[in-house]
Each structure stands twice: as structure tokens, then as C-alpha cells.
Structure 1
């Protein structure tokens, strides 16, 4: 450490070099059991069951869910989505954002604590770590010891299982974009010299690093949600909180000792709430950005309270606006939680969901774009009829062969000359040049100009068109 001198020859404070990055302290999270632990594992089972199961489901002789980027065409059970249907993806993003606002305003980081893939896979990886290396105190003791054959074997088993889980997830993710039943033989034949293999390894490597090595660093430093959650919650949001009025002063005491008799609060200062926290924070210091809302500290504290024969709920979901200190009852807590902000977010979310479902339900089975042929505004046919040409793009949005008859509405005597009938394969897009004609006698009695018309598509045997598209018919001078 260097020192500096002033002009009078005296010494000043030594120069100090402050690191720009905080050194990571490894977190040894202790296993925990309880209501919220069971809830987290139920969500892990649900999300991973859906994630790993969907690529293998069949629907009408094809994959139930397949995002085919080569065509491009997305199959989602009975839906066939084309690039022009990206509006539905935008709607899903809006719904996801509104859901995030709603649940955060309601109860903090519910998404982070229970459903976020980072949390889900961290739970799976911590379970693997528990089974291969033991619980917290065993891992801490083993890591402090020199390397032995047993230690190396346990570490190797853990990382082998981590990598296997990561590759399985990577394989499944790529299986949403490539038929998963053909993906295995393709990888065996092409090896790593293929794009599917690259994405399997890339996603698997990211998962292995995020859930295995960085865990809480992803949530604390890389995820922006930890920084913006303070703008989404207020004093009436349900968050995980420690009851200072009941718990302090803290201190150890024999089991079933009345806290008042020894001048202590309900907290035994066992620090189990810190030991089970995957972010390594002490919830007794108040709500912190690093808290992901997993409620592991609630399970640990409630277990200690039951052993001490104390009431549970020393750490619990509560509102920060006097909710913990006052011990609000159910009705008062409900009144605080169900407030204008939550109602506005909930109303917007419900409206967006209804609009999204209604748009899908009323979506036409065929998409049609009509553009006038600008190279030929209008022309006279061999028999003197006035002809207009149009470029018509049709897309079959169903999984069956579609047959339609083209018609025209809005201008009497106008007919479709070519083509009148259209046949499309499932999901096929077809470009047509359509000719509309107005007989000479009808054209002579009309003023020159553009007349509004509508092209229609009608299925055989039906009288009402399934789709109409506006355009104009030009009558020359």
C-alpha cells in the first residue's frame, strides 16, 4: 500500500485500492420442508411435465406443438400460425407483461419464487446436489477438506447429473423447432457439425452455468426484474416479512420456554431462515432486492416455531404498511391487498385475455390479401368487357384440404373470370392472379372511376362467405 506526502513534508492517508466487483461468497443452501416447499415442487413437476411432454404429443398425425422455422409455420394443437399472425405473439407478450404487473402488485416476486425457469432448474440442481453431496453442513465440511477419491467421485457424479439434465433440457427445447422423433437420429448421424447440435449444446451449456454455477447471481445482478420490482409493489403488496415486534430481541433459549420470562422475543436466532435462503440474505433485515420470494425462510421458521411450541407466522406473507406489526386479520388484509392498483391490473389482464381468446376463436380459417395489379389498371377484353387484375395471396390456416369459390360483391354484373375455384393443401399459401370483368352493357351505363367491391371466399355447400376483403374496381373513361 503506497502513501503520499503533502507540500510541508507531512504524511497523509495511505492510498486504498477498492475492487470494483464484489467477490462471490459461495452459498450453501440448506434443504427445507414445508407447505411452500411442496408448492414449489408441485410447480416444478407441472412446468417440467409440460415442457418435456409437449414435443412428443401427436395431433392429427403430426406434432402437437411444432415451431417450423424453415417453412415458416407454427403448429399449436389445432392452430396453424403463419408469419402474418405475429400479432398473436405481440398479444401474448402484452398479456405476460400485464400478468407480471398484476401478480407483483398483489404479492411481490411470485413469478421469481415459483415459476421462473431459473428458480425451477435451481431447485432441480440443488436436489441433485443434496442427493450426491449431502445437506448444507456436509457440503461445507467436505469442501473445507483436501481432495480425496470419495470427494472427487461425489463432485463428478454431481456435475455429470447436472450436465445430463442440461443436455436433456437442450434436446427438448430444440425438439420444439425440429421434429423431436427425428432429432436423435439426426444428431447421431451429423454429430456436432449441425445447427441442431449447436443449439442443444448452447442451451444446455447456458442452463448448466446458470443453474449450477451462478444461481443467485443471475437473480441478483443479471435479471432486471430485481431492480424494477420496487416500482411495481407498494406498501400494501404481500411480501415475505419478519415480525420485528414479535421476534425481537432475539436469543437462544431452552425449548418451550416462555419468551417473556427470559426477556426475549419469539426469534431464537437459529439463523435457519438464512441457511435455507438460496440468495443468502437475512430476511430479518427487511425486504431486499435479492429476495426472490420463494418462502423457504417461512417453512424453516414455522418448523422451529412448532418445535418451540410457539405460534407460527413469525416470518410470513404480509404487507409492509404496518401489516406485520399490527397482525392484521384476514378481512383487513384482504382489503389492503385488493386495492385500486391490483384491480386496474387485473381488469386489464382479464380484458386482454378475453380479447386474445375471442380473436383466436373468431379467426377465419383462411387468410386473404388483395392487391390491385398496378401494371394494368383496367383493360378491355376480347368481347368488350372491362377487366381488372388483382394479386390475391391465400393462406390455408387449417390442417385439412380447403376448397373455396371466389366471388365478388358490391357491384352488380361484375363476375370472377379466372380463377373461380381454389384448392389448397393444409397450411399452404397460394398466390393467384384474379380477373374481374364487367360486361360492356353494364360498363356503358356507369360513370368512370373506382367502384368499391369485395372479393369473397365461399366453401362448397355454404351460402355465406367465410371471408371478405375490400378492394376497388376501376371503370375507365
Structure 2
């Protein structure tokens, strides 16, 4: 009769040698304090992940260094309240376009989730990309997962101190580069890197760079899977997007159970799962995919590559763990390519894209704001002239200097004219406060009304000498009031 310790050890194992219908899975929950030392794994999905993560990180760092027409191509200029995206300039009043863009990205993510589950997290999420970079640095300094686990348990020595110091120094350097990379989207990138690494930056610039560097260091170096397990909201609501046809990383229970250890080429009545535990060792969140679908799974495919490697060694068919759907595991056909969820997300995505196109087509390169002189409603000039004063705030929203012509029009009084100069030049991104005086004949006043509507228009022209409009639609207008005595 087994003693109590043997019985406790055997009951802690998640596999048994009884039939699947009688098996009661036991999920082992590791203590929170235990650090996960992820085993290195090679394979198809890990190559895809490495390529996608490398491209993501490269794009993140390279984009701020691309120039366009003598200016940083992508720049959120907070000081000037401008967003430059190549030849497009957005101002705060244009930021609804960014709102539509973020909403379109969200619905695109939801649409992909319906078909491929949490594949974004495994292959394109910045959290995953930066975490794997930090894990790669750790592996190069401290060795494979066995060596790292042994180093954690080993007492402090000169060798352990040297390895830890080197690892954390490289982590800090990469965190600082990441902080510079992020802030370079808000400040000129070339000057920023030089200022930070020569310690000549301003206080607030350095503070923001080091703030994001600290966040990167703590997030990718220390928290890692804790972000996916406890902080990421996507992991909590992803399940509502799944259906029976969603392809996620899944374990084929019917084929794999009952699992058990064996020798190669050994004939056995057990299932194909040899209980090597590699699928757990390579998982960045430390879960056992054999326990079923879990919100912690980021669909990185590491367990798929590890299991296929084992299946090949034992001469078994691949894909005991694979990207598959619930219906496929049950041997049932896919019910519909376009489910109601997919159609709903696709419709919302098309609406967001349509709104982006409409906003872009209606985006004006000129901003006009007309302010009346509130101290003096009108001035009487001579026997038959009445003048009103206005302040025109004209902003050139383009990245090039431009020439504009100001005009005024009234259906009731065609003789209303602008007394001041009607042609102005404005620098790129500059707002011009331009005083304008409008004059009208008292004899042309319609009826006894004390005021009438007039409309100011500002049109971009080729030059001071050539008053031809650059583009017919490159014009903006605003109404105001003209007062009579």
C-alpha cells in the first residue's frame, strides 16, 4: 500500500492511465513567486514570430528617421499641436481622423480574432516582441533555461554577480533606446538621441525618456507574462469573439490521451502524448495547453513546434497540438465561413474605413475663424459709407508656404468690399491674425434691418501676381454679420 507522500505525488500529476471518459484533469497552479524560465524552441511558428517581432521592432526604431521634404516624415509635434504624416498635416480639430483609425484597427483585430484567436498577441504585440528580446539577452548572458534556473538557486558569487550585472546593463541600454524611440515620435529623432546619450537634453525631455525606459525595463524584464495574465484587457474579453470555428492552439485530447512516458518504437496502448512536458517548458506564460483553452494562451505556437518535434522523434503524426478549431477536433465540418460575429466586425470595419476616406476627402488645408470687433459695431465714414471691422484668424495647415486671397460676399448688398489688402502670405503651419475692414454704401442698405449676413472666403492662389486658385476645392468660408446704423 503506497504511503501518503507517494499518493500525494501521484495525485499531483495531470495525467492518468485510465480512459478519457473517467479521467479527471488536475491543473497544477505554480506559485506566483516562481519565475518562468522559458525553454528555447525552434520551428515554423517560432521563425514566423521572430521575423514578425524583428520587423515590428525595426519599423518602430526606423520610422522616426525617415525624412520627407526636409522634415521628419512622422512627428507628433505637441508644442506646435501638429501631427505630420509625410505630406499630411493634422491639427487638433482633425484628430477625429485618428479616432476613426484606432477604431478601425480595433475592429480589424476583432475580425482576425474570430478566425485565428489571439494570434495578434503571439506574433505582433509589442509586449510579446520586447519580452522575447529581453529573454534572448538573458539567454545569451546566463545560458539556457536549465542554467538560468540553477543560477537563480545558486548563492551569490563573483560569476553570478558579473552575469546579472551584464544582463541588467544590457536591459537598461535597450530600455533607454526604447524610451528614445518612443519620444522620437514627438521630438526630432536625430537631435534626441544625441542629447540623451551625451546627457545634454532638457529636464522634461530626459524625464520622459527615462520614464518610458523604466516602464520598458520593468515590463519586459521583470513583469513579462504577468502583463498577459493580469494587466492585458484583451485576454479577458477575447473569448466572447471565439466560436466553434475559431482556430486556436489546441490539444487533441482524443488522440493524445491517456498520456504516458514510453521508449521510442515501444508498442503501447497509451495515446500519442508521451508526457515530455515540452509544451509547458516552452510556453512563455507557463500554462499546460493540454488542460484545454485558457485565457493565458497567447497563441505564439511554441508548444506546437515543441510537440511536432517530439512527434517526429517518436514517428507519430504531427499536429497533436496545432492551430485548429473546436469543430475540427470533433470531426465536424465548419458551419459557416462568415459567422454573424465576423460579418458584424467586418461591417464595423468597413464603416470606419469609409469614415476615414470621407474625413480625408473633406480635409481642408486652410482654417478660418472670423471674429467681429465687439467694441464698435460700425463706423460711419462720410455721408454714405459704413465700415465694420473684423479679425480673421487664417491658418496654413500645409507644410509649404502659401499665398491666399480674401474675399467677401453678400447676396443683399453686392457692393460690400474689403478696404484692406486682400492677398496675404502665410508660412507653413503658421496662423495669421489679420485685421480686415469691410465697407458698404448706406444707400444700398436693404430695408430697415440693422444687420445682414455676409460671408468671408479664403482661397489659396498661385502667387501675388497670379491670382488663379491652386485648386478649386482648396477654399474655406465662414459667415459673419455686417451692422448698419
- Structure 2 length as normaliser, TM-score? 0.85
For 1:465 and 1:27, locate their aligned partners in 2 and report how far apart those are by CA, in whole Å.
Answer: 60
1:444 shift after superposition: 4.8
Residue pair 2:64, 2:189 contacting (<8 A) in 1 also:
yes
Distance in 1, Cα, partners of 2:176 & 2:321: 38
The alpha-carbon deviation at position 437 of structure 1 amounts to: 3.1
Aligned to 1:4: none
| Distance 1:465-1:236 versus aligned 2 partners, 3 A rule | closer
1:204–1:465: structure 2 CA closer, same or farther, 3 Å change rule? closer
1:156-188, CA deviations, whole angstroms, 9 ceiling, x for partnerless residues?
Answer: 222221111111111222222222222244346
CA distance in 2, matches of 1:465, 1:387: 30
1:109 maps to 2:118: yes
Instruction: Give the aligned partner of residue 474 of structure 2.
Output: 466
Q: 1:420 aligns with which of 419, 422, 436?
A: 422
- 1:123 aligned to which of 127, 132, 150: 132
* SS at structure 2 position matched to 1:370: strand
Q: Partners in 1 of 2:257 and 2:342 — Cα distance?
A: 33
Alpha-carbon offset, residue 279 of structure 1: 0.4
C-alpha contact 2:369 2:478 (8 A) present in aligned 1: no
Distance 1:117 1:74 in 2: 23
Q: What's the counterpart of residue 293 of structure 2?
A: 287
Shift of 1:209: 0.9
Q: Which residue of 2 aligns with 1:198?
A: 207
Q: Which residue of 1 aligns with 2:279?
A: 273
Does the residue aligned with 1:158 lie in a helix, a strand or coil? helix
Tell me, yes or no, if the aligned pair for 1:456 and 1:465 is still in contact at 8 Å: no
Contact 1:236–1:319 (CA under 8 A) maintained in structure 2:
yes
Task: Report the CA distance between 1:374 and its aligned residue.
Answer: 4.0
Deviations 1:81-108 (A, max 9, x none): 2222222232223223222322223322
Deviation at 1:406, TM superposition (A): 0.9
What's the counterpart of residue 396 of structure 1? 396
Q: Verify: 1:223 aligned to 2:225, yes or no.
A: no
For the Cα contact (< 8 Å) 2:304–2:322, is it kept in 1? yes
CA contact (8 A) 1:408 1:456 kept: no
- Are the aligned partners of 2:261 and 2:274 in contact in 1 as well (CA < 8 Å)? yes
Cα deviation digits, residues 279-309 of structure 1 (max 9, x gap) = 0000111111211221211111122222222
- 1:365 counterpart residue number: 365
| Partner of residue 435, structure 1 | 437
SS of structure 2 residue aligned to 1:289: coil
My pick for the range that moved more, 113-122 or 390-399, is 390-399
Q: Which 10-residue stretch deviates more, 80-89 or 208-217?
A: 80-89
- Summarize the Cα distance change of 1:243–1:408 in structure 2 as closer, same or farther, 3 Å threshold: same
C-alpha distance in structure 1 between counterparts of 2:122 and 2:181, whole Å: 24
Q: TM-score, normalised by structure 1?
A: 0.86
Change (3 A) 1:26 1:436: same
Q: Which of residues 320, 328, 338 in structure 2 aligns to 1:323?
A: 328
* Aligned partner of residue 244 in structure 2, secondary structure: coil
Structure 1 range deviating more: 452-461 or 210-219: 452-461
Of residues 346-355 and 48-57 in structure 1, the stretch that sits farther from structure 2 once superposed is 346-355
The farther-off stretch of 285-294 and 229-238 is: 229-238
**Match status 1:298 vs 2:304:** yes
SS of structure 2 residue aligned to 1:292: coil
For 1:233-290, what per-residue CA distance to the aligned partner results, in whole angstroms no more than 9, with x for missing partners? 3333322211111111111233355xxx521212111111111000000011111121
> 1:324 Cα shift?
1.6
CA deviation string 1:12-61 (max 9, x = no partner): xxxxxxxxx96322101111112211111111121111111122222111
Question: In structure 1, what is the equivalent of residue 318 of structure 2?
Answer: 312
Report the number of matched residues: 448
What CA distance in whole angstroms lies between the structure 2 residues aligned with 1:378 and 1:97? Answer: 54
> Is residue 142–residue 163 contact of structure 2 (8 Å, CA) maintained in 1?
yes
Q: CA deviation at 1:151?
A: 2.9
**CA distances 1:112-152 after superposition (whole Å, capped 9, x unpaired):** 22222111101111111221222222222333333333333
